[in-house]
Amino acid sequence: MCLTCREKILSNDFMDIIADYDAIVEILDATDVEYCYHAIDAGYGVANVRRSQVEPLSLVYYGYSTIPKLYGLMQTGESVFDASPLAAMGNIRVQNPPLALQGSGVIMGFIDTGIRYQDDVFRREDGSTRIVSIWDQTIQSEEPPAGFEYGTEYRRADIDRALATENPLVVVPSTDTIGHGTRMASAAAGSLLNQGLEFRGAAPLADIAVVKLKEAKAYLRDYYLIDDRAVAFQENDIMEAVKYLQQMAVAFEKPVVIVLGLGTNMGSHDGTSALDSYLNIVAGRRSRAVVVGGGNEGDKEHHYEHSMPSNVEIRVEKPMKGFCVELWGNLPDVYSVSIRSPGGEVTPIIDFRSGADRNLSFVFERTRIRVTSILVEKDSGDPMIFMRFADPTPGIWTVEVSSSARRMRGNGQYHMWLPIEAFLEGSVTFLTPSPDVTLTEPANASQVITISAYNSYADSWYAPSGRGYTRNGGIKPDLVAPGVGVPTALGETDGSCMAAALAAGCVAQFLEWAVVDGNAYMVDSRGTKSYLIQGADRPDNVVYPDRQWGYGRININGTFETLARL
């Protein structure tokens, strides 16, 4: 029986590949392979290919960039409403006269775990919804958005019809069982009342659009050895969500702010991944802005930086399914590895100039390791080595990194990343980690507005927040925003995702002034970022830009004071 494209997109029997159409045909190299292809934008597309008809998942065969990376949630914790974080950003002053900017006429789009649309904070005073649409990728019972193949779209009229009934979820069954998306949306754009208490987000009059992402397929979770309990989303589904939201700028004739509170340690960390590149394209379009949280990996001991030759020690706390490690080097060097188990067994030096996968096993360990080297990774252009540790023995594993050439051609520098904390069953850490270059992807994309977090109550850095710069020295983060004790509809929450949500509300205020009110109607995400940098608070004890603080603490009122002085 021939499956529909929707069925292929959802089925674990079908592999997802990110590439343009010509590359898909070349990879398949056959006419009888069952697949669907859906174009996203700017040369990117996704093919869903029957796994039994093609080669097993392999970086060597398919290429690193074509296999979707998995992204997790960037929240670290879970009241009474406290406006202090908003005040620290100058947000409340700008909400009030004379500017009175509250995001009116702007759409804020959230790509996350969904939204509890029945909550008062997402409704107008008359009880109607402020949500213009929800694309729920997990519900297949009704029609998807125009131009998309899966999920169900609910428009404002559908949601209002649901809210008029005693059981809204019978009419519009989309909800947020995890709560992450609801927290993000309420911090950024909540309004009205929350359990009888005054509550407001950073842009309380903005319209809201939501994409509830479907969770990653089992075959990808198995490939990356992700903890079975972890919430994980696929790169291609996020790219589809970005396409859906950015199109609203034309359909609704309103500026759109896209907000991402997701992250991963997979990738080159230099802004060249498929998602990074697509976000850069969207960020360059008029009346769009993209705001991304920098992740909470700054204190997790998951990043290592050194030059070869050197020994990298990885501590595995307890038995687990496994984990993956990525090593990213620099041109023109060529890298080799040897691995020593906790029991002392040492593999030969693996020379990857042939470019093949290597499967390693040990006499006294159950661990199986697959090591893949890519001399020139397609998107970054740099060498990388991918190591997959299945059933790792607890203890200290040592990766000996050396040059495949007779002598080093460059400086021998390299970086290594372990998975984000949410993807691990137990503690896996580097013994001598570096807290720098710990921004998660896609926060390294050059044109987006990257936000790290600080504690506005203590006026101090938030230790878990990701730190810059990018792997190739690009200036990131751009700015910092409050990320501790941020009020949401579900209680106070910490994390870089909350900082991104508050910063996105400030971006919506600026776009209301610039685009809706016609003061700078050609502005895009890059221009918005520059305006925000001009108005940021920069204490004298830091030299800017800085690996932690970027160009300073976001202050939207400071931006308008700067404009007033021109």
**Which H, E and C letters describe 320-365, residue by residue?**
CCEEEEEEEECCCCCEEEEEECCCCCECCCECCCCCCEEEEECCCC
**Which H, E and C letters describe 7-37, residue by residue?**
HHHHCCCEEEEECCHHHHHHHHCCCCCCEEE
Helix (H) or strand (E) holding 157: helix 156-163
Q: What is the DSSP letter of 123?
A: B
- Coil, strand or helix at 423: helix
CA distances 205 to 112, 490, 509, Å, are: 21, 19, 10
Q: What is the pLDDT of residue 41?
A: 86
Nearest of 555, 500, 545, 561 to residue 257 by alpha carbon: 500
Strand residue runs (E) in 368-411 = 368-374, 384-390, 395-403
For residues 416 and 389, the answer to whether their CB atoms sit within 8 Å is no
CA 299 – CA 495 distance, rounded (Å): 13
Contacts of residue 69, defined as CB under 8 A and 6 or more positions apart, other chains included, come to 234, 235, 264, 266, 267, 273, 275, 441
Q: What is the pLDDT of residue 110?
A: 98
For residues 202 and 108, the answer to whether their CB atoms sit within 8 Å is no
N-term to C-term CA, the chain = 67
Please give the average pLDDT of every successive group of 10 residues along the chain, which has 566 residues. 88 92 70 86 89 89 92 67 84 93 97 96 92 98 96 98 97 97 96 62 96 97 94 98 97 97 97 96 96 97 96 97 97 92 91 72 92 91 95 97 80 96 96 98 98 96 96 97 93 94 98 96 94 96 96 97 87
Q: What is the pLDDT of residue 33?
A: 86
**495 exposure class (CB count in 10 Å sphere: 0-12, 13-18, 19+):** buried
**Which H, E and C letters describe 450-518, residue by residue?**
EEEEEECCCCEECCCCCCCCCCCCCCCCCEEEECCCECCCCCCECCHHHHHHHHHHHHHHHHHHHHHCC
CATH architecture for residues 303-430: Sandwich (2.60)
CA 300 – CA 238 distance, rounded (Å): 25
Helix-, strand-, coil-residue percentages of the chain, each rounded to 5: 25, 25, 50
Q: What is the pLDDT of residue 479?
A: 98
Q: Looking at this protein, which amino acid is placed at residue 155?
A: R
CB burial of 529-540 (b: ≥16 within 10 Å; e: otherwise) equals bebbbebbbbee
CA 160 – CA 115 distance, rounded (Å): 15
Report angle CA 335, 337, 343 to the nearest 5 degrees: 165
Strand pairing category for 70-73 and 233-234:
antiparallel
CA 178 – CA 217 distance, rounded (Å): 18
CA 216 – CA 146 distance, rounded (Å): 23
* Residue extents of the structural domains in the chain: 84-298+441-565, 303-430
Please give the structure tokens belonging to residue 446. Answer: 């050059």
Q: What is the pLDDT of residue 191?
A: 87
Please give the structure tokens belonging to residue 510. Answer: 């600026």
Helix (H) or strand (E) holding 95: helix 91-95
What is the C-alpha R_g of the chain? 23
Please give the structure tokens belonging to residue 503. Answer: 């910063």
Homologous superfamily, domain 84-298+441-565: Peptidase S8/S53 domain (3.40.50.200)
